[in-house]
Amino acid sequence: MRDFRRLQTDAPPGITAAPEEDNILVWHAAIFGPEDTPWENGTFKLKVVFSEEYPAKAPEVKFITPMFHPNVYANGNICLDILQSQWTPIYDISSILTSIQSLLMDPNPNSPANAEAARLYQSNRREYNRRVQECVEKSWQLIDSEDDSDEEETNTDESKAATATSLTEAPAVGMEQQASASGSAPSSGAEATTTAGGADAMTAAGTSQE
């Protein structure tokens, strides 16, 4: 896909995105909060779903990270003109994410998706910035929880592998022990037979001398 090649060769600053391994139409992206704004130091994750009609039709883009922004709905959907009436095929994933990054810095309170955020942005900027800072902190928590989940999944996989290995090795050890036991029994029997045979020979020799 052209979008992925462009991101690899000329990615805009503060933006990352990549498709799922088994589905090129579903992408996971992240926008880093622009410096010198209330969003600074945040890492905000998004999901981008393309249709077979792309680039004739805009993809569906939504935030996974909880957001408090005049143009972001409670479910993460984004009110942005280039994703709706102003979409043209010249846009790609880089231009979409860059536009969303700009929207964080410069919201449009006159076309609100979140009425409370739009009101605070216009009438109480200090409270608005405080609510935005809460989103920044939540973005850290989301990343930490995903890291913990990945670590737990890795540990589970390692545990399963170790269990499978032990189950594979156990029969082999049992077979070796059984083979060893089977091998020692005949050896003892052979020694007993040899000893008995030797005793019989000595008895026969004694009789002959008499």
Contact between 54 and 69 (Cβ < 8 Å): no
Contact between 83 and 95 (Cβ < 8 Å): no
CA-CA distance, 71 to 106, in Å (whole number)?
10
**Percentages helix, strand, coil for the chain, rounded to the nearest 5?**
55, 15, 30
Q: Which residues contact 23 (CB under 8 A, 6 or more apart)?
A: none
Q: Residues 65, 68, 72, 77: is their CA dihedral positive or negative?
A: positive
CA-CA distance, 73 to 77, in Å (whole number)?
5
Give the number of C-alpha atoms closer than 13 A to the C-alpha of residue 30, restricted to the C-beta side. Answer: 12
Would you give the DSSP letter of residue 83? Answer: G
Residue of 31, 61, 72, 79 with catalytic role = 79
Contact between 58 and 87 (Cβ < 8 Å): yes
Catalytic: 135? no
Which residues are catalytically annotated? 79
